[in-house]
A and B are shown apart, each in its own frame.
Chain A
Amino acid sequence: QPVLTQSSSASASLGSSVKLTCTLSSGHSSYIIAWHQQQPGKAPRYLMKLEGSGSYNKGSGVPDRFSGSSSGADRYLTISNLQSEDEADYYCETWDSNTRVFGTGTKVTVL
């Protein structure tokens, strides 16, 4: 089954942009993934599904500041015009061989 690799942390200044990476393990570079956001003390929230082509589809109410892109086995989540409420953990997930897999999450800090 695939392994999803995420950096443990990222930081950026208020109003700037941050790009998070989720890397699929070898042999799984075409997989569809989803990004989820978990603000402190809250349940996760679905942000978008992202294909290997770079095409993405966002969930209801997700701000335009959130976008997705892909390159090979890498799946990216870009947050533009960073706001204080974007400080959260971000998880990617995928599905293979009847198993769902989550990445370890990236903690985003807004400076």
Chain B
Amino acid sequence: EVQLVESGGGLVQPGRSLRLSCTASGFTFGDYAMSWVRQAPGKGLEWVGFIRSKAYGGTTEYAASVKGRFTISRDDSKSIAYLQMNSLKTEDTAVYYCTRDQLTFAGYSSSWVTDYWGQGTLVTVSS
């Protein structure tokens, strides 16, 4: 059974840092890309960023709202994905979800598709 468990959330002051972890089990972690998605209270889903598997270069992509402040990394030996969040702002307050992504093809089209979600961890940025 695929499981994604986030940890590391909590209350943090503006300008400070926090690192979230996503521990995966039930699949070969190194074969998959991973993403972080957040949801502010009462709002919709917002993509934060993404890290490809080593087979696709292990490279990262970020939403404009977090680029330069957030960094995603992975430790395939431990089956963990990380989200390092620096220079936090009050607007970063949200539940943060870890997701598993796989590349899917249809004719000439391809797309990364999220096929599993973690349960989320709440990050509150407040003084």
Contacts and interface: CB of A to CB of B under 8 A. Distances in A.
Interface of A: 30-34, 36, 38, 43-46, 49, 51-53, 55, 59, 89, 91, 93-96, 98-105
User: Which 4 A-B residue pairs are closest in the complex by CB-CB distance?
Assistant: A100-B47, A51-B106, A32-B111, A98-B61
A36 B63 contact: no
A102 B109 contact: no
5 contacts: A36-B117, A49-B104, A52-B109, A96-B111, A98-B50
B45 A31 contact: no
Contacts of A98: 50, 61
A91 to B, nearest CB: 6
Contacts of A34: 113-115
B118 A32 contact: no
A85 B120 CA distance: 21
Interface in B99-127: 104, 106-120
Given A52-B106, A95-B113, A102-B37, 16 more contacts: A30-B108, A31-B109, A36-B114, A44-B117, A46-B115, A49-B113, A93-B45, A93-B114, A95-B112, A96-B111, A98-B50, A99-B47, A101-B47, A102-B44, A102-B46, A105-B44
Nearest to A53: B106
Interface string B22-43: 0000000000000101000000
Contacts of B63: 99
Contact of B47 (A33, A49, A102): A102
Contacts of A100: 35, 37, 47, 50, 112, 114
